[in-house]
Amino acid sequence: MHSADLLLITLLALTLPGVHGGKVLVFPVDGSHWVNMRILVEELHSRGHSVTVVRAAASWYIKEKSPHYTAITVHGAGGHNEEFFISLVSRLLQIQREGRSAWTRFSLDMELKERFSEMHKNTSEMVSQMLEDQELMQSLRDTEYDLVLADPAAGDEIAAAFAQLPQKVIWRYTGDRPTTLGNNTRLVSWMPQNDLLGHPKTRVFVSHGGTNGIYEAIYHGVPILGLPLIFDQHDNLQRMKAKGAAKVVDIATLDRHIFLQTLQEVLHDPSYRMNMQRLSRLHRDQPMKPLDRALFWIEFVMRNKGAAHLRTESYRMPWYSYHSVDVIGVLLAAVLLIILIIIAVISPQTHREAPGGEKQRQDKMKPNTLWSIPIVLFMAPLMFIGSLCHGGKVLVFPLEGSHWVNMEVLIKAIHARGHMLTVVRTDKSWYIKEKSPYYTSITVPVTKAIDEEFVKEALKFLLDLERGKSSMLNFFKMQLKMFSKMAEAHAMVVEAATNMITDQKLMKTIKESQYDMILSDPAWGTGILLAHHLQLPLVYNVRWITSGEGHFAIAPSPISYIPVTGSGLSDKMTFRERVKNMLFYILALYIDRFVIKPNYQAFCDQFFNPKVDFNDLVQTADLWLNRVDFVFEFPRPTMPNIIYMGGFQCKPAENLPEDLEEFVQSSGEHGVILMSLGSFVSELTNDLADEIAAAFAQLPQKVIWRYTGDRPTTLGNNTRLVSWMPQNDLLGHPKTRAAVLHGGTNGVQEAIYHGVPVLGFPLFFDQYDNLLRLKERGGTRILSLGTLDRHIFLQTLQEVLHDPSYRMNMQRLSRLHRDQPMKPLDRALFWIEFVMRNKGAAHLRTESYRMPWYSYHSVDIIGVLLAAVLLIILIIIAVIRYLCCRVCFKRKLKHE
């Protein structure tokens, strides 16, 4: 209800910290809403919190005296009128039964809206009355509340049908006793509905479709016969009908025969009870009870003085910015201008072209490089914009590099729960070992693969480019090489999938193994293809998919405030930045459609069906275990089947090796600094390494630097070079003062977990974006390798070391990250086993992936409505012109 929202916004300033024996100010809504709110109020009271409820003097549900709360009664016109709703329902039933005109129904709807408007007006007056009551407001401030909790906001025929049933009937009914009432029916003015629904002898629930009754029926697995009347009741029952757990009867056409026939169908068709019991199992199969989850987050808000980090920036934006209407308009105008310029330039040249010249140029263009031309043309302007399951079997499709580090943590945890895992790897794998105590492996032969040397070569080139040792032309060449390698990598993935699916012996072994699910890293598409072929439930360990960041494929992702990876933008964008973000988004779409997807789509066409679209297959995963935490990530829309497990690899620090502990302890009160640029960047250019080493040498802190290159000539006695370090354990050591990191997700999340401030050196991929998110939260400073020297490095590092805000902000993020009802790894394991127990999680998957883009964005609907409006306007204009002509014609005749 908007009235309660207004109360919440008005009085939010009253909230102050505290969680143990907190004080909660409650603004409820009358009627059935209070039934829900009262449960929360009573549970908060039982947890030791002091609860005060604000009610209107005219309230007809909320009592002034209660053992669970104290009440503040506000006199005035606020509150709902019970008599109005009783009268409304009665008139609505009469209209439906008597088949009155649509105008009568419309008049009733307008009266309802008028009454709601009146209620909101009364609520506003009640708020004004409270704010003007200085004594009351002072009392509220003095009480120092921790939290504001608000709520936004045919008898004879039925009786005759009941009389023909062998079952007993309990009917909550207070009207005149139906003349056709049978001996098997008992009328009551009140019933313990939840207890009756949970009774083993209850067969069917005849319900109006209110939310409370629906959820109680789901909880107890009782099928429903629905008689919707008003508000959301019809929508609620339609959802149950779509799940095969209810039948819906129209009050307007109801008679004893229809009612009896429908009720007998629900009673005797076992599918209704089976479907309802399946929903009951799914509803109860949760890691936390819903009430416990609600109470946790209420107390979370009290502990942390709010939850602003979970709120998106969308509410600050006008509609045209939110939907990127302004950006699209500018880009379309720019495209049109470019087309006109090209036409103007080409037209004079057409007559000068030598015969056969065009064909000669086309012959020189190799087909496999055609896709790269638009990429180069597109990137050029971007440069100027700115820089419980028992012994399950799991088939795993991982990815190399740091992705495997994450997947291995999950594999070990799944193995520890008693499940059997089989990991699919290629014969050219350089991270994933063939033998392990935690899994068995299937090795698939491939002819080529991206190896470690290529990655190191690419990184060296990027470092040279940053340091000004490579030209912009070389940059574009390197970009084309990267795109080419990307296409090759996905071709290799498809080759591996092809080798598997055509190996009949292997496929027979896999099918006979009867795996319960596939766990896949969707940055490579092998697991996606094999899951469809084997018809197995599919779970992603995901941050990236084949086309980019995973959220963009499955969740609503307004480009207006959700930055595209690589754009280097935050969720607070200017118009110019939103244009840049849109261009990056278009580039990502182009690369996906023309570089990546063709490899996978060719596989689908060959082995499945030309109608099977690879992008649709990506979205058919049952669950997306996303390596994201909104303490770190910008808030954004999400989906029910996205389970967040950001920081799942983090854990408390363990003891350091003896020699390393001795070095750390020797730092005294100054502490230590860590530096690691990840698994791939273990060495730097000599000049860069010398500058960093020279800066470290001027610090009183000890430094542990993961580095395997030539020993820097400026290395100080306080710096120790290592080829490997126990990064998590060092970050968790009490003497660690700061960490110099490249911005990889794992390192950033470990720094957040342990509350250690960061100095960032982003190189490629998502590293700058990760560090930017941390910078927005005040936990890091970012340096560019292109302009780095010892003075800049030393000055920035000293700022991170000595400005207490960096450590305070990181420790705040650490508290927020750890303040969860479940550990991220436990949450991931629960949902993995959920999929095994329930043979998937299709009920959490939306239908959006089945829709064409124009339907998803309602372009077709908007087009039809605009056409209809235009037609009406034209008709009105035509009628006006006709009438004007007639008037003019008559005047002319009179004049003559």
pLDDT of 774-813, one tens digit each? 999 999 999 987 788 899 999 999 999 999 999 999 999 9
Q: 373 Cβ partners below 8 Å, 6+ apart?
A: none
What is the sign of the dihedral through the CA atoms of 463, 464, 470 and 474?
negative
Q: Comparing 290-299, 610-619, 703-712, 828-837, which segment has the lowest mean pLDDT?
A: 290-299
> Measured at the alpha carbon of residue 14, what is the angle toward residues 8 and 17, in degrees to the nearest 5?
115
- One-letter amino acid of 409: V
pLDDT at 325: 85
Q: 214 Cβ partners below 8 Å, 6+ apart?
A: 207, 224, 236, 237, 240
Residue 162 has pLDDT above 90, yes or no: no
Strand partners, 780: 758
Please give the Cα distance from 749 to 743 (Å, whole number).
9
Q: Which CATH number fits domain 658-822: 3.30.450.30, 3.30.1050.10, 3.30.70.1560, 3.40.50.2000?
A: 3.40.50.2000
pLDDT at 3: 43
Mean pLDDT of 332-347: 84
Q: 341 Cβ partners below 8 Å, 6+ apart?
A: none
Please give the Cα distance from 427 to 447 (Å, whole number).
9
In the chain, DSSP finds a helix count (H) and a strand count (E) of 35, 24
- 600 burial via Cβ count (<10 Å: 0-12, 13-18, 19+): buried
Question: What class does CATH assign to 155-290?
Answer: alpha beta
Average pLDDT over the chain, rounded to an integer = 84
Residue 289 φ/ψ region, left for φ over 0, alpha for ψ in the -120 to 50 degree band, beta for the rest? beta
pLDDT at 384: 46
pLDDT above 70 covers a percentage of the chain that reads: 82
Q: 54 Cβ partners below 8 Å, 6+ apart?
A: 7, 25, 26, 27, 28, 71, 72, 74, 130
Residue 323 has pLDDT above 70, yes or no: yes
CA distance to 119, 518, 551, 641, 823, per residue, from 832 (Å): 47, 10, 19, 12, 14
pTM of the predicted structure, to 2 decimals: 0.81
Nearest residue to 830 via CA among 414, 521, 551: 414
Three-class DSSP category at 595 = helix
Please give the Cα distance from 151 to 143 (Å, whole number).
22
Residue 167 has pLDDT above 80, yes or no: yes
- The edge-to-edge listing of strands for the beta sheet with 538-542 is 440-444, 420-426, 393-397, 517-520, 538-542, 623-626, 642-644
Please give the Cα distance from 229 to 259 (Å, whole number).
16
> Measured at the alpha carbon of residue 283, what is the angle toward residues 278 and 285, in degrees to the nearest 5?
95
- Contact in structure between 703 and 675 (CB atoms under 8 Å): yes
Residue 362: pLDDT band with limits 50, 70, 90 = very low
Containing 186, the helix (H) or strand (E) segment is: strand 185-188
Residue 312 has pLDDT above 60, yes or no: yes
What is the sign of the dihedral through the CA atoms of 89, 91, 92 and 97?
positive
Higher pLDDT, 596 or 347: 596
Cα 661 from chain centre = 41
Higher pLDDT, 274 or 59: 274
What is the sign of the dihedral through the CA atoms of 614, 620, 625 and 629?
positive
Q: Rounding to the nearest 10 degrees, give the CA dihedral for residues 39, 44, 47, 51.
A: -130
pLDDT at 527: 95
pLDDT at 664: 95
Secondary structure (DSSP) of 866-890: HHHHHHHHHHHHHHHHHHHHHHHHH
> Measured at the alpha carbon of residue 747, what is the angle toward residues 741 and 753, in degrees to the nearest 5?
120
Half-sphere exposure (CA, 13 Å, Cβ side) for 891? 6
Residue 8 has pLDDT above 60, yes or no: no
pLDDT at 648: 93
Residue 447: pLDDT band with limits 50, 70, 90 = confident
Please give the Cα distance from 224 to 221 (Å, whole number).
10
Instruction: Please state the domain extents for the chain.
Output: 2-91+98-150, 155-290, 393-644, 658-822, 858-896
What is the sign of the dihedral through the CA atoms of 361, 367, 372 and 378?
positive
pLDDT at 338: 85
Residue 383 has pLDDT above 60, yes or no: no
Please give the Cα distance from 514 to 391 (Å, whole number).
12
- 590 burial via Cβ count (<10 Å: 0-12, 13-18, 19+): middle
Higher pLDDT, 228 or 229: 228
- The yes/no answer on whether domain 393-644 falls in CATH 3.30.530 is no
pLDDT at 369: 46
pLDDT of 466-517, one tens digit each? 666 555 566 666 667 677 777 888 888 999 999 999 999 999 999 999 999 9
pLDDT at 54: 86
Residue 348: pLDDT band with limits 50, 70, 90 = low
pLDDT at 613: 93
| DSSP assigned state of 444 | E
Residue 854 has pLDDT above 50, yes or no: yes
The answer to whether the 155-290 and 393-644 domains have the same CATH topology is yes
Mean pLDDT of 551-555: 91
